[in-house]
Structure 1
Amino acid sequence: MRLNISLLLVLLLSCMAAADTVYLVRHAEKQPQGQDPALSVCGKQRADALADSLAGVKLAAVYVTPYQRTQQTAAAVAKQQQLDITPYDPRQPEVLVQQLKALSQPALVVGHSNTVPQLVELLSGIAMAPLTEQDYDLLYQVKLTAPISVRISRQNFRCR
């Protein structure tokens, strides 16, 4: 009987330990030139606005690609939440998806115009429209618990 109760408890805790939400965003505006451009002034402002918009969400992790623009977009959020920034390989999205599903709290992923819709689709099974080079203001919120859903919100941000 004790074994059955222990087994049931472990099973329940493992179900509860799964992250229920993943936030995904494309990096903010970047400098127009270079192989690995930094954020522009407007991009830095947008990164700060992202931190403000996620201030009420307790994140478990912040994932970025190995490029300055994603790292700089995530920096204000990571600092505010006292989290390290974790790099991921955008060529292996399935690996990141497994890591995200194993988390116990929500996470933020900062990617690119070609990787964010792909990750949303892998997480949710819901096809996403591609992003254009001008799409910097979309925040995807993927709810992983049944029923799985995707909420796309437009950040109300204007460069100063």
Structure 2
Amino acid sequence: MKRVLFLTLVLTSFYIRSQETQSTTIYLIRHAEKADTSKNPELSEQGIERALRWANYFEKIPLEIFYTTLTIRTQQTISSVASTKNKEIQFYQPATFSLKEIAAKHPGKTILIVGHSNTIPKHINDFLGEEIYEQIDENEFGNLYTISISDNKVHHQLTKPK
């Protein structure tokens, strides 16, 4: 009986600890290159190539949740990745979007968010509570922002393309 009780306590302890150490990872990227300067353009040929490179980059990363804005260029960028994972895409409005809400809604998940040069850094800075990341230059594509949340600790980094 003592052994059963001890085993139950050990297993319960491991279960509780595993729940506490859930790691949530959020990847954020800007849409790939636009075909033109119109209000809602598609991706250019170069942008399509970049979107495919993102699909290749994320191939072995177990992405579970996908968010993007309603613009054609963000949808084309995220579709290249989501389709390889056979996952649905959720849409968001940049003006009301909150990374805190996303992290709370999807604990322990791995998430990809595609947005815009002026919104991705803002969302991250709002989440972190300080101005760390600058707005992305209009001609800059390929930045990867990563936020990891584990044990109530937040780690973040920016990886620039080579």
Q: Do Structure 1 and Structure 2 share a fold, with TM-score over 0.5? A: yes
1:74-130: CA deviations, max 9, x gaps?
Answer: 011000111111100111022x53123321311000000111001212333352122
| AA partner of residue 102 (structure 2) | Q
| AA partner of residue 33 (structure 2) | E
1:147 aligns with 2:150: no
Gaps of 5+ in 2: 1-8
- Give 1:151 shift: 1.6
- Give 1:152 shift: 1.2
From 57, 75, 94, give the equivalent of 1:53.
57
Match of 1:123?
127
| Structure possessing the higher radius of gyration over alpha carbons | 2
Q: 1:88-107 maps to which residues of 2 (within 5 A)? A: 88-94=92-98, 97-103=100-106, 104-107=108-111
Supply the distance in 2 between the matched residues of 1:38 and 1:97 (Cα, whole angstroms): 30
Contact 2:24–2:103 (CA under 8 A) maintained in structure 1: no
| AA partner of residue 151 (structure 1) | Q
From 58, 68, 71, give the equivalent of 1:67.
71
Match of 1:25?
29
Give the 4+ runs in structure 1 shifted more than 4 A: 8-14
| AA partner of residue 156 (structure 2) | V
Supply the distance in 2 between the matched residues of 1:97 and 1:51 (Cα, whole angstroms): 26
Contact 1:123–1:144 (CA under 8 A) maintained in structure 2: no
Residue 20 of structure 1: SS of its match in structure 2? strand
Farther-moved stretch of structure 1 (115-124 vs 61-70)? 115-124
**Cα gap change, 1:112 to 1:25, in 2 (>3 Å):** same
Contact 1:124–1:149 (CA under 8 A) maintained in structure 2: no
1:113 aligns with 2:110: no
Q: TM-score, normalised by structure 2?
A: 0.81
From 123, 126, 135, give the equivalent of 2:140.
135
Aligned-pair identity (%): 28
- Give 1:16 shift: 4.7
Supply the distance in 2 between the matched residues of 1:119 and 1:109 (Cα, whole angstroms): 11
1:40 aligns with 2:49: no
Supply the distance in 1 between the matched residues of 2:129 and 2:149 (Cα, whole angstroms): 10
- Give 1:10 shift: 8.9
Gaps of 5+ in 1: none
